């Protein structure tokens, strides 16, 4: 069970805290979004900045990249959602409707639909094929800020983006099945910073990270708690966790700039006191699909790139 633990690059172009870092599909490139209001495209392996995208008036908090890597969506403190053309850097769509900062954006697998959510406790669903300025649908079940969104990919062609999973500061994870018109909610209790369905079996399992300093793994069929992982320090900011390769390990950044890793089977951390590669809190971490590389973003303004030793 190896995790990428050797730092190979530091991406140092941003002039403010970095809130989000996402690999593109294939993980050859990554995008980062910062309080400096810019989004940057990098080759993480070479540590080179390729392009800078400017347009947001406040901090950038969320990014999602379409499956063909041709476009990406961004959102943040200026209450706007932009859809960008990766190659030209042009903003192709501007979506307005939220009345607070937007914490999450997510495309469905075909990038025909974009979901957005944030401080106003609403999920807005936008049709990427229509020129309409209004959302297709607005979901208003949450009672506090929505922190993350996921639209699990499906091998069933009829299930295109039919399910939206969200986490909120009201302590709930909600699943909207749009075809069935059904919403289920699971009470986690503590404000939830993120929910991540299992990449291998999103129908069966999801993981949450919450303000009480616990990462929990749940059985989706019955809501049962499968595992609780703890030890990392959580502050006021959101703490992002991620599944390790093969899902035998779970990783999370913490408020002290440390990267924690746990063995899922026995819930034990791989190190009881991991080193702190970042000077401030880690806001985001993400593993490449093959598990050979990882990126960590921090309030210290840097993004570190990690590879297997």
* pLDDT, position 159: 47
> Class for domain 6-307, per CATH?
mainly beta
Give residue 154's pLDDT band: very low, low, confident or very high (50, 70, 90).
low
Rounded Cα distance between 100 and 121, Å, is: 9
Rounded to whole angstroms, the Cα distance separating 253 from 296 reads 8
Report d(CA 297, CA 18) in Å as an integer. Answer: 6
Reference 89, options 31, 18, 142; nearest CA is 31
Please report which confidence band the pLDDT of residue 157 belongs to, taking 50, 70 and 90 as the band edges. very low
pLDDT higher than threshold 70 for residue 205: yes
The rounded distance, in Å, linking the Cα atoms of 83 and 105 is: 10
- The arithmetic mean of pLDDT across residues 274-296, rounded, is 95
CA 20 to CA 14: how far, in whole Å?
12
Please give the span between the terminal C-alpha atoms of the chain, in angstroms, as a whole number. Answer: 12
pLDDT at 131: 85
Lowest mean pLDDT among 71-85, 149-163, 217-231, 266-280: 149-163
Among the listed ranges 15-19, 61-65, 91-95, 162-166, which one has the minimum average pLDDT value? 162-166
Report whether 44 contacts 295 (CB < 8 A).
Answer: yes
Categorize the per-residue pLDDT at 155 as very low, low, confident or very high, splitting at 50, 70 and 90: very low
237: confidence class by pLDDT, cuts 50, 70, 90: confident
Mean pLDDT over each residue of the chain, to the nearest integer: 94
pLDDT one-digit tens code per residue, 112-140: 999 999 999 999 999 999 988 899 999 99
Of 41-50, 128-137, 168-177, 187-196, the one with minimum mean pLDDT is: 128-137
Higher pLDDT, 282 or 157: 282
88 pLDDT more than 70: yes
What integer pLDDT is reported at residue 178 of this predicted model? 85
How many other C-beta atoms can be found within 10 angstroms of the C-beta atom of residue 219?
A: 12
CA distance linking residue 295 with residue 288, whole number of Å? 8
Contact 304, 7 (CB under 8 A): yes
Burial class (CB in 10 A: 0-12, 13-18, 19+), 237: middle
Residue 309 has a pLDDT of 84
Q: Does the pLDDT value for residue 57 go beyond 90?
A: yes
pTM for this model (two decimals): 0.95
On the question of pLDDT at 266 being above 70, the answer is yes
Report d(CA 131, CA 87) in Å as an integer.
Answer: 22
């Amino acid at each position: 069970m190896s995790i990428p633990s050797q730092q190979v690059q530091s991406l140092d172009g941003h002039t403010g805290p970095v809130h989000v870092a996402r690999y593109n599909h294939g993980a050859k490139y990554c995008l980062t979004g910062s309080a400096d209001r810019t989004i940057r495209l990098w080759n993480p392996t070479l540590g080179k900045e390729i392009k800078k995208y400017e347009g947001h008036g406040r901090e950038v908090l969320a990014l999602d990249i379409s499956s063909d890597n041709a476009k990406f969506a961004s959102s943040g403190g200026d209450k706007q959602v932009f859809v960008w053309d990766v190659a030209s850097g042009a903003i192709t769509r501007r979506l307005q409707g939220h009345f607070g900062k937007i914490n999450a954006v997510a495309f469905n697998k075909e990038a025909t639909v974009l979901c957005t959510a944030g401080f106003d406790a609403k999920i807005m669903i936008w049709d990427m094929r229509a020129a309409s300025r209004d959302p297709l649908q607005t979901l208003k079940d949450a009672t506090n800020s929505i922190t993350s969104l996921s639209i699990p990919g499906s091998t069933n062609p009829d299930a295109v983006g039919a399910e939206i999973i969200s986490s909120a500061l009201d302590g709930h994870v909600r699943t909207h099945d749009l075809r069935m018109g059904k919403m289920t909610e699971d009470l986690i209790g503590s404000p939830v910073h993120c929910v991540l369905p299992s990449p291998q079996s999103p129908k069966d399992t999801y993981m949450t990270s919450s303000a009480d300093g616990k990462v929990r793994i749940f059985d989706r069929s019955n809501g049962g708690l499968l595992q609780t992982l703890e030890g990392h320090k959580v502050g006021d900011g959101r703490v992002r966790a991620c599944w390790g390769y093969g899902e035998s390990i779970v990783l999370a950044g913490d408020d002290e700039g440390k990267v924690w890793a746990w063995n899922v089977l026995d819930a034990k951390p791989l190190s009881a006191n991991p080193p702190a590669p970042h000077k401030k809190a880690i806001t985001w971490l993400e593993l490449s699909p093959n598990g050979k590389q990882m990126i960590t973003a921090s309030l210290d303004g840097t993004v570190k790139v990690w590879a297997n030793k």
